[in-house]
């Protein structure tokens, strides 16, 4: 979901874009938390709402506890609907946020156990369909991304100036409810009204409006967009609602994971049923493909809506460093409706800046492939050793049983075991560049093995990063970067959809000044970048060594220079990313309680 940027030429839009991403680490959430903290709790519950003005069919609330706790203010009707509640759907985090708001602002009396039960019911039966939740998974996964789904600047200004666009896209509402949400923002947050009343920027070349034409505001544009894009009733929800069931996830799952800064891991995740329905106990064994380091983890998980995993896991020993994969993690995963695969993030850090990108494949009795190394094969290579990692791989594996794609010939099987096989392969000099499917008899791992001729350019990931100063009172927020090589695709142009991602490239790292003002000196104060591309921010607080005693905040370039790969002029390939080093997030808004 990240928007590609030119890795060599400076991305002049980056300083204007980075603020959109900061929301996922708490800036916009801080405004919400502060606003809530400044509102006095109500002395008594408000009068019951009504469904007046609703023309759409509601979703009846059937849970007795939810009706008991929420029905005092949200009036029931003859169809079993509760006003407001029956006309919205959202994620577990969204319902947890709503209940907190009811407690803080409307005097809801509810115990933690009751709150968890209500969130589980609402997330199950008033939640999102898997297809609706998947595009906004980066919000509960706490990723920093460019939000490419924002259709235009008018909607951006109205809906993503203060929080991630994934926040409203994590909800489905009736038309009436979307309008009521706008009204609530105007009532609670003064900046919202200013954003909504702004006139849209005219389209380039558009004729001016006719005299006397009533101007359309950003708020109106955004309201119409959200009513159309995220309605209460959708085809996805209509198909999923009758299919909601208790998840059956017990068994063994193959794990393929990537940890930025540490590389790829493979292993197994064993899931056992927990004490309550929808809860699970996990045991994980991972192995680093770069170093061979073994990791074991134990954890628990809770599944909402039949597919949304929220859990925690930890290793047996304390972590030795901030980026140590032995850290305890929060685990957020999206399970496919057929319950045969999953993907997500296991993350840690004060700002959730570290984490495994995880893919799971259910292991049965048939062969399955989880990962392949090396990361890529160059055209013209002979006798390349290719490792296949999986489960139930046949012991009598023959070259004819293995396919590495067009132009790649398997000449011999060097070794074969149920979890690891090694084959020798030749790559034709004229092999077409692209990602190959890897197959072992009936098992296939799609687009797992890139074949390339040359690396044309680099990308630094993330292309815009955020770190936070810290010290004795506030923890630091780190930044981890990586460099990947790409080959131009058939169109011969970099940064287009047909480019081939080759894999990690060995590079040297440095920090360069981002010249925002004359005599800019951020590079000397913001922090240090280690050889593994881990950025460690400096201490917060006034710095007497800096002009005007300023804090150590600032913005810089993180630059990668390839050690061996060169451009057509014989110069080392380079790429850079924009890094903002900000002050600590003094207040944060999160829903950790949705995980067990």
Averaged pLDDT score across all residues of the chain: 89
Q: Please answer whether residues 247 and 306 qualify as being in contact, where contact means their C-beta atoms are separated by less than 8 angstroms.
A: yes
Give the pLDDT score at 29.
Answer: 39
Residue 209 phi/psi, 5-degree rounding, is: -65, 150
Q: Please answer whether residues 513 and 488 qualify as being in contact, where contact means their C-beta atoms are separated by less than 8 angstroms.
A: no
Residues 6+ apart with CB under 8 A from 249: 271, 280, 303, 335, 339
Residue 184: Cβ within 10 Å count: 12
pLDDT digits (tens, 9 = 90+) for 93-139: 999 999 999 999 999 999 999 999 999 999 999 999 999 999 999 99
Give the pLDDT score at 200.
Answer: 81
pLDDT digits (tens, 9 = 90+) for 528-583: 999 999 999 999 999 999 988 999 999 999 999 999 999 999 999 999 999 999 99
Give the pLDDT score at 212.
Answer: 80
DSSP letters, 526-557, are SEEE-TTSEEEE-B-S--TTSGGG--S-EEEE
CA distance 391 to 404: 18
The C-alpha R_g of the chain, in whole angstroms, comes to 26
Fold of 380-452: Immunoglobulin-like (2.60.40)
Q: Please answer whether residues 240 and 130 qualify as being in contact, where contact means their C-beta atoms are separated by less than 8 angstroms.
A: yes
> 16 falls in which pLDDT band (50, 70, 90)?
very low
In the predicted model, is pLDDT for residue 482 greater than 50? yes
Tokens of 245: 């069931």
Burial zone of 283 (CB within 10 Å; 0-12 exposed, 13-18 middle, 19+ buried): middle
Give the pLDDT score at 44.
Answer: 44
> Token pair 């995993």 is at which residue?
309
Beta bridge partners of 562: 507
Residue 315: Cβ within 10 Å count: 19
Give the pLDDT score at 204.
Answer: 78
pLDDT digits (tens, 9 = 90+) for 362-400: 998 999 999 999 999 999 999 999 999 999 999 999 999
Give the pLDDT score at 587.
Answer: 80
Give the pLDDT score at 50.
Answer: 54
Fold of 251-360: Lipocalin (2.40.128)
- Helix H, strand E, coil C: the string for 378-401 is ECCCCCEEEEEEEECCCCCCCHHH
Residues 106-112: contacts with CB under 8 Å, at least 24 apart? 106/42, 106/45, 106/46, 106/73, 107/41, 107/42, 107/43, 107/44, 107/45, 108/45, 108/69, 108/70, 108/73, 109/69, 110/69, 112/593
The percentage of the chain sitting over the pLDDT mark of 90, rounded to a whole number, equals 79
Give the pLDDT score at 52.
Answer: 63
Give the pLDDT score at 28.
Answer: 38
Tokens of 349: 């850090």
Give the pLDDT score at 281.
Answer: 98
pLDDT digits (tens, 9 = 90+) for 201-215: 777 777 877 888 888
Q: Please answer whether residues 386 and 373 qualify as being in contact, where contact means their C-beta atoms are separated by less than 8 angstroms.
A: yes
HSE-CB at 224 with a 13 A cutoff on CA atoms is 8
The kind and range of the H/E element at 354 are strand 354-362
CA distance 560 to 577: 9
Give the pLDDT score at 19.
Answer: 41
Comparing 380-452 with 457-582, is the CATH topology the same? Answer: yes
Return the domain boundaries, the chain: 14-202+212-240, 251-360, 380-452, 457-582
Beta bridge partners of 485: 458, 503
What is the pTM assigned to this prediction?
0.88
Residues in the chain: 596
The percentage of the chain sitting over the pLDDT mark of 70, rounded to a whole number, equals 91
Residue 561 phi/psi, 5-degree rounding, is: -120, 120
Write out the CATH class of domain 457-582.
mainly beta
Burial 388-425 (b: 16+ CB within 10 A, else e): bbbbbbbeebeeebbbbbebbebeebeebeebebbbbb
Give the pLDDT score at 49.
Answer: 53
């Amino acid at each position: 979901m990240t928007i590609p940027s030119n890795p060599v030429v400076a991305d002049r839009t980056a300083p204007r874009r980075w603020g959109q991403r900061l929301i996922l680490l708490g800036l916009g959430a801080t405004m919400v938390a502060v606003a809530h903290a400044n509102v006095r709790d109500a002395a008594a519950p408000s009068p019951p709402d009504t469904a007046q003005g609703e023309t759409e069919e509601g979703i009846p609330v059937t849970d007795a506890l939810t009706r008991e706790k929420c029905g005092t203010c949200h009036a029931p009707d003859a169809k079993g609907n509760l006003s407001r509640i029956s006309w919205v759907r959202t994620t577990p985090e969204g319902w947890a946020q709503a209940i907190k708001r009811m407690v803080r602002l409307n005097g809801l009396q509810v115990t933690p156990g009751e709150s968890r039960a209500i969130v589980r019911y609402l997330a199950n039966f008033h939640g999102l369909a898997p297809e609706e939740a998947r595009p906004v998974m980066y919000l509960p996964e706490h990723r920093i991304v460019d939000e490419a789904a924002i259709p235009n600047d008018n909607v951006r200004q109205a809906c993503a100036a203060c929080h991630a666009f994934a926040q409203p896209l994590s909800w489905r509402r009736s038309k009436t409810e979307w309008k009521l949400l706008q009204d609530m923002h105007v009532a609670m947050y003064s900046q919202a009204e200013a954003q909504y009343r702004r006139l849209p920027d005219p389209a380039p070349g558009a004729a001016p409006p006719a005299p006397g034409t009533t101007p359309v505001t950003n708020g109106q544009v955004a309201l119409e967009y959200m009513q159309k894009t995220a309605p209460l009733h959708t085809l996805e929800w209509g198909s999923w609602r009758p299919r909601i069931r208790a998840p059956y996830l017990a068994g063994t799952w193959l794990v393929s994971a990537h940890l930025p800064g540490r590389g790829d891991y493979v292993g197994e995740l064993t899931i056992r049923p927990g004490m309550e329905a929808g809860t699970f106990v996990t045991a994980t064994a991972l192995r680093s493909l770069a170093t061979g380091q073994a990791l074991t983890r134990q954890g628990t998980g809770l599944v909402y809506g039949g597919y949304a995993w929220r859990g925690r896991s930890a290793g047996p020993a304390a972590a030795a460093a901030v980026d140590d994969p032995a850290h305890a993690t929060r685990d957020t995963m999206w399970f496919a409706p057929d319950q045969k695969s999953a993907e997500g993030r296991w993350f840690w850090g004060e700002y959730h800046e570290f984490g495994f990108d995880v893919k799971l494949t259910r292991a049965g009795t048939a062969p399955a492939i989880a990962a392949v190394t090396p990361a890529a094969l160059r055209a013209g290579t002979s006798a390349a050793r290719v490792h296949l990692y999986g489960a139930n791989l046949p012991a009598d594996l023959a070259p004819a049983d293995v396919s590495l794609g067009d132009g790649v010939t398997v000449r011999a099987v060097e070794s074969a075991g149920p979890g690891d096989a090694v084959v020798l392969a030749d790559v034709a000099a004229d092999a077409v560049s692209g990602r190959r499917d890897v197959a072992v008899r009936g098992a296939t791992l799609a687009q797992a093995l890139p074949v390339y001729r040359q690396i044309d350019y680099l990308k630094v990931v993330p292309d815009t990063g955020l770190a936070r100063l810290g010290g004795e009172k506030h923890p630091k927020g780190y930044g981890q970067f990586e460099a990947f090589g790409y080959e131009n695709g058939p169109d011969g142009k970099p940064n287009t959809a047909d480019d081939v991602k080759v894999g990690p490239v060995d590079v040297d790292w440095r920090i360069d000044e981002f010249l925002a003002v004359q005599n800019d000196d951020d590079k000397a104060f913001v922090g240090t970048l280690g050889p593994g591309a881990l950025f460690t921010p400096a201490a917060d607080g006034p710095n007497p060594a800096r002009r005007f005693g300023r804090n150590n905040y600032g913005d810089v370039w993180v630059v990668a220079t390839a050690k061996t790969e060169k451009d057509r002029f014989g110069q080392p390939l380079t790429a850079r990313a924009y890094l903002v080093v900000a002050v600590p997030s003094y207040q944060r808004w999160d829903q950790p309680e949705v995980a067990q």
